[in-house]
Structures are given as structure tokens and as C-alpha cells.
A = this chain, B = another copy of it.
Amino acid sequence: MRQHKFTLEEHELPTHYYNVVADMPNKPLPPLHPGTREPIGPEMLGPLFPQALIAQEMTTDRLVDIPEEVRDKYLKYRPTPLFRAHDLEKHLDTPARIYYKYEGVSPSGSHKPNTALAQAYYNKVEGTKKIVTETGAGQWGSALSFACAQFGLECEVFMVKLSYNQKPYRKTLMNTYGASVHASPTPLTEAGQGILAADPNSPGSLGIAISEAVEVAAQDPDAKYALGSVLNHVLLHQTVVGQEAVKQMEKAGEMPDVVIAPFGGGSNFAGLSFPFLGKNLKEGSNIRCIASEPTSCPKLTRGQFRYDFGDTVGMTPLLPMYTLGHNFVPAPIHAGGLRYHGAGVVVSQLLKDELIEARAHSQLECFEAGVTFARCEGILPAPETCHALATAFAEAERCKKEGKDDVILIHLCGHGHFDLGAYETYLRGELQHHELSDADIAASLAQLDTPVPA
């Protein structure tokens, strides 16, 4: 019998998060105050995050302990399985050997609980009563709702209106875990009121929803804010994925030549790739790490490296990142989790230093790959996940042309059981294509007056 699944025992669950910053040749530039534009210290983040997470945001330690209480909750679904995609390889007729790490077995169906549980725990310990957040496609919001239920915290979610309407069941899942959910932009916040005044039909965006959540959290002394990607501590928490995958690839007797993950704000990509990238930086390995983004939101492949806000209204510190501009509103693609204007600071620095690669794919190409994957491997992937599949299919084709038997590892970060409305549209042949011109991107970037690092 050929082997399909490489599992780990509970005692093989990682005990630490891996912080790639410790091994980066160029450390990330500091965040700047949105008003003074001077570097800021940890105290600026105090109103929004618990101290433990601020410390993790700033740390340059290589390893960060995972608390026992968080590891205990991880065991509800971790370690997650790693699979060899035998039937997909056969279908693609490629000499490449294709593996995927599957995070869809988590209660909310994606990798997001890895950081949600950690963030809920640290908030609980420091006395937070309520966590306020935003969500795009709903993966992050449902993960945080689950995590808050686990630690007895209230949860309030601003969900991008486009996704709220596309995926009503994601909202119900959050409600089932006990969270309250709003369609953003809302009239509940000043940020939302401003957006609605300018465009009453705004479909919303992650940047807008962040503005609203930050505003609500900042005004409530019992509440804190939580972000599902972009920030260093969020990327850090996700590295349990890649650490497990390193062990599982060793059990398979292989090491990947290429590691591929979808890219929204960076946590998904970081989660799988950073422990492999660490092998490049520390041990001289030569593993290509590729981030896959939508052509309709191409900050890595067509954005600019400069300081920008994390939100649309401009309430957050300025972060040095690849960005399309914080006013950029991406086309209404179904991969809602990738509709974000900027890339996390650490990932941006790594791309600038050419230590990682990026590719962009159209929505249509991604769904084609998703349907092929479902028919071959059984698992229906989330639209976000399909981006990594599109890149992997291209790499498998390259291997075929070059006669190379590269080992390809994909981050199959979530299942698509909440995304069947999108698949229905695709199967009907009605999926929309969204062109994005150079002029559109230039116009969005031209609105920025923020510093451009040398």
C-alpha cells in the first residue's frame, strides 16, 4: 500500500513558536506613529493588545514558549495531517511529488484557530472581558469566536459586508459559538459612518472593518482588539503548522524543494513556510517559499514597499510593507480572506530581500484548480486555498517540462464547505474576471504621503 497520510502523536505537538525574525539578515524596520511619524515603542499598542502579545510582537527571540493551556486547546485538532497527493500527481501527469498540509480539520475549518486560541488565552490571563475583531471571508471571525467560547470571553466581529452577504452561514457559525456579528461598514462607529457617508453601498473591505473594530476596542476599557494576520505575533503563532510539517516531511523521507501558501496578510504563508525558511537561513537549505495572491489584490507582485496604515481610516501605526495603498478596495472576489491592501512587515522585508517569491493568479484559474483538486483528492478547498493550488499546478507543469521530480508542499489551509455559493457561480460559468490596470494601482498609491524606505 502506498502511504497517503503522515500523522504525528500528541506528544509531537510543537512546544514553541518559531520566530523567523531571529534569523533574518535584515530585521524589519520599526513601526511609526501615525501622527508624528517617529518610531513607536510597545506602549502605543497597550490600549489594543495584552502585554504578552505586545512582547511577542517586538521580540527577537528565536523560540517563544507555547503555554500549556494553549497546547491543551490545540490538541482538539492538532497535530494536523500531512498528505501525499498521489491521485493529483497522476492527473497532472507530473514527475513532481506533491504533498499538502491540511488545516481544514480544525473546528472552524481553517488554520486560523492557531492564533485565535493563543490570543484568547493571553487576553483571558490579563483580564480582558471582550475581544473585538474584523473578518473577511469569516475564517478568522469564526476561529476567534470558537477560541473565545473556549476561554469564556465575549466576542464581537465586524465582518466585511461583501462576505457577510456571500456567506451568511459563516455568520451563523460565529453566532453558534456565541459571538455577535455586524456587516461592515456599520453606522455603529465613526469610521463606518464616514465610509457610508461617502458610499452608502460600500461592499466593505478588511481595512474598513479593522478601522471599526479598533475604534470599538479602544473605547471600551474591558475590551481588546485582535487581528487575524499581518502582525508579527500572529505570524508567530501560525508556525506550529510548519514545524509539524517539517517533522512530517522527515517521516515521509523527503524535504520540499518548493513550499507554497496563499497570501492575504501573511499568517497563512508564514505558518507553513517560516520553519522551512529557517532551514535556509540557519542550515543553508535551498527551499523555495512562494506566496500566492489574487491578481485582483496583488500587493506582493505589483505593490510598492513603503510605510502605510494597516486600516483604511488611518488609525493604526504606519508599517513598512508591500502595499497597494490603504484606500485600495479590492474587487469582490470570493477569496475574501485575501482582499487586504498590505502585506505583513516580516514577509515584506523577506520579499524585499529576495528570500521568498510571490505569484498572482486570477479567480478563474484558482477555482479550476480547486475543482480538479476536489475530484482527485476529495477535499474541497476554500477559495483562498485555491491560490496555492494554482501556483502548485504551475510548478508541477514546470517539473514536467524540465523532467524534474521536485517535492512540492502546499498549505491546504482550509476547506471550502462555506464557499459553495462561489463554486456554484463557477460551475455555472458565471464567475467574474477582474482586470486591474497599472493606472488603478498607481492612482491608489499616489494617495499616500508616507515614507518610502531606502
Which one of B68, B175, B420 contacts A173 once the chains associate, using CB atoms below 8 Å? B420
Complex interface: stretch among A343-351, A377-385, A442-450 = A377-385
What is the bound-complex CA distance between A175 and B427, given in angstroms?
8
Q: Is the CB of A173 within 8 A of B380?
A: yes
Contact residue among B68, B173, B377, B420 (Cβ-Cβ distance under 8 Å from A169):
B420
Given contacts A1-B10, A83-B76, contact A172 B378 (CB under 8 A): no
Q: Is A4 an interface residue (CB 8 A)?
A: yes
For this chain, the copies found in one complex come to 2
**A7 partner, pick from B9, B146, B415, beta carbons under 8 A:** B9
> Could you say which of B4, B149, B418 contacts A75, with CB atoms under 8 Å apart?
B4
Contacting pair A172 B424 (CB below 8 A): yes
Nearest chain B residue, comparing its CB with the CB of A107:
B378
Which of the listed residues A3, A149, A375, A378 has the most CB atoms from chain B within 10 Å of its own CB? Answer: A378
Q: How far is the CB of A324 from chain B (nearest CB, A)?
A: 31
Give Cα A2 to B69, complex, Å.
Answer: 11
Q: Which 4 A-B pairs have the closest CB atoms?
A: A107-B378, A169-B420, A4-B75, A172-B420
Q: A172-B427, A173-B423 are in contact. List 16 more A-B contacts (CB 8 A).
A: A1-B75, A3-B75, A4-B10, A4-B76, A107-B374, A113-B378, A149-B378, A150-B378, A168-B424, A169-B421, A172-B421, A176-B371, A176-B374, A176-B380, A176-B423, A415-B417
Interface residues of A (CB under 8 A from B): 1-5, 7, 9-10, 68, 71-72, 75-77, 83, 87, 105-109, 113, 146, 149-150, 168-169, 172-173, 175-178, 371, 374-375, 377-380, 415, 417-418, 420-421, 423-424, 427
